[in-house]
Every structure is written in C-alpha cells, then in structure tokens.
Copies of this chain bind each other. A is one copy, B any other.
Amino acid sequence: MPADSAERETSRTPRTARGVQTRSRIVQSAARLFYVKGVSATTLDDVRTASGTSKSQLYNHFQDKAELIHAVIDVQAKIVLAREEDSLGRVRTLGGLRRWRNAVVQTCSLQGGAYGCTLGSMSIELSDSDEKSREALAAAFDTWQRLLAGALIRLRELGVLSADAKPDDLATGLLAALQGGYLLAQNGHNSRPMAVALDMALAHVESFARR
C-alpha cells in the first residue's frame, strides 16, 4: 500500500485512547452510512446519531464533512486494498485468478448485488466536486490496478501467460470489468452481471495462456 494512503496526522489527531475510540466510531458510522445511503445523502446529524456522539465531540475530531469524507476514504481504501493484496498476492496459476474472481462474486452475491463497491460509489459521487477525494480514490484505484498487474506479471514470469500478454492493460480491463459488474449488479440487485463481466475479462486473459 502506498505511504500516502496512511492516515494523515492533523492538529485533531486524538491524543487519548478514548479520543482514538471516539474518532474510530465516528469514521465507522460514516463509512457505513456513505456506503448504504451515499455520501451526499448523509448528513453530519445522521453520523452523530449513528455513532452516538455529540456535536462538540464530532467537531473536536473533524472540522467539517469534507474532512470526515477524506478519513472514510482512507479507511475504506485500506480495507479494500488489504483484502485485494492478500487475495491477489497469492495468485500463481490461472486457477488462483479464478479464485480471486469467485471471492469477489460471492461477496457481491451475499448482499444480493446491492451497494456496489465502496470506492467506486464514492468516486462517482465525489470525483467531479472534490478534487482531494478524487485524488485519494485515484491513488487507491492505481494501487488496485497495480495489484492486479502484479499478479499477471507473476503469471507471465512463471510461464503461465505468454510473453505477449500486456499485464498493465489486462489489469485495467479486469478492474473496469469488476467496477462495471458492481454497477450493473447493484442496479439489478443481482450479482450475475458481475460474474458474466469478470468471466469475459478472464477469458481474454486466458487467451494468453501458454499451451
């Protein structure tokens, strides 16, 4: 994970264990609300109610909603990228890549397709209105794409994929298939479009398999 996705120290970085706990409770509540309701549709009052914090506690930790949004992006990017790093870091065969696909489809299926990808949804809401959020999410997508490319480079080095496979483009295509799959699954409340989209992208990757 890149150093710049680590949580930034600010003047409001809590100095006590209780402060750390309160801040974490606020971020977790906001993350859940942003994911289910959307960022713009969530008010700071919603976050206060969900986290059981007072107005003064909230403003003690976050100057405004923008600062809370950036903290949520940091936390969500860490969760998604840690999961992907773990899953993709172990890929050494085409079967391993299939297992990565099965895991993301299963997770999507468990919630009936709903909610989509936390990073993708925040990106669509924020990319044109909050440059700091866009940049933080772009860094996360960039890391995600590099994790996918890393797995494909490994497959090429191990001789599973042929030398003319282009890991960078294949990784971009896989990430787009995943994000488009999330979007159609969320809209249809059904994970099938994600499975179909990833299968199509994987079939293309597999067309570079060395015979």
Residues of A whose CB lies within 8 Å of any CB of B are 36-41, 114-116, 120-121, 123-125, 127-129, 134, 137-138, 141, 169-170, 172-173, 175-181, 183-184, 186-189, 193-194, 196-197, 199-201, 203-204, 207
Give Cα A197–Cα B197 distance, bound, in whole angstroms: 11
**Interface pair A175/B186, CB less than 8 Å apart:** no
Residues of B within 8 A of A172 (CB): 184, 193, 196-197, 200
Known A-B contacts: A138-B188, A173-B200. Give 13 more (CB < 8 A). A36-B128, A38-B125, A40-B41, A120-B183, A121-B124, A127-B187, A127-B189, A172-B196, A176-B180, A176-B193, A179-B183, A200-B201, A201-B204
Nearest chain-B residue to A42 (Cβ)? Answer: B40
Could you list 28 A-B pairs, sorted by A, with CB under 8 Å? Answer: A36-B128, A40-B40, A40-B41, A115-B128, A120-B124, A121-B124, A123-B183, A124-B125, A127-B189, A138-B188, A141-B188, A172-B184, A172-B196, A172-B197, A173-B177, A173-B197, A173-B200, A173-B201, A175-B193, A176-B181, A176-B183, A176-B194, A179-B183, A180-B180, A180-B183, A180-B197, A201-B201, A204-B204
Interface centre among A41, A127, A186, A203 (most CB of B within 10 A): A127
**Interface pair A187/B125, CB less than 8 Å apart:** no
A120-B183, A176-B194 known; A170 vs B200 contact (CB < 8 Å): yes
- Which 3 residue pairs spanning A and B have beta carbons closest together? A180-B180, A176-B180, A173-B200
**Interface pair A197/B184, CB less than 8 Å apart:** no
Give Cα A136–Cα B120 distance, bound, in whole angstroms: 21
Least CB distance from A189 to B in Å reads 7
Least CB distance from A107 to B in Å reads 16
Nearest chain-B residue to A194 (Cβ)? Answer: B176
Residues of B within 8 A of A183 (CB): 120, 123-124, 176, 179-180, 183
